[in-house]
Amino acid sequence: MVGMYYISMTPYMGFAPGLKAFVAAVFGGIGLLPGAMFGGFAIGIIETLVAGYGSTLFKDAVVYAILILVLLIKPSGLFGKGGKEKV
């Protein structure tokens, strides 16, 4: 539908929103619906605050910095459970 609005289509049209959705799911916890919802809301609010009070150039960088921090500190996400996997 976006391609019909702009009268052009490229293979990478949904790459940025899809990547931000992945970041939100990792932030909240992969496999948990409430965690993914919280991650989406939190990423959206943080992105809006950075764009409003800072510069719009840094809003994507802040989202990816949050992804790196969450993966370093708690790889299972904020609501994810870190359990041992049996092989």
For residue 85, what pLDDT is reported? 66
Q: Residue 24: name the closest of 39, 41, 9, 2 by CA.
A: 39
For residue 84, what pLDDT is reported? 67
Domain boundaries, the chain: 14-73
Angle at 78 between CA 73 and CA 81, to 5 degrees: 95
For residue 3, what pLDDT is reported? 76
Residue 31's φ and ψ, nearest 5 degrees, are 90, -5
pLDDT in tens, 5-55: 878 788 888 888 888 888 888 888 887 888 888 988 999 999 999 999 988
Rounded Cα–Cα distance for residues 67 and 54 (Å): 19
pLDDT band at 57 (very low <50, low <70, confident <90, very high): confident
For residue 45, what pLDDT is reported? 93
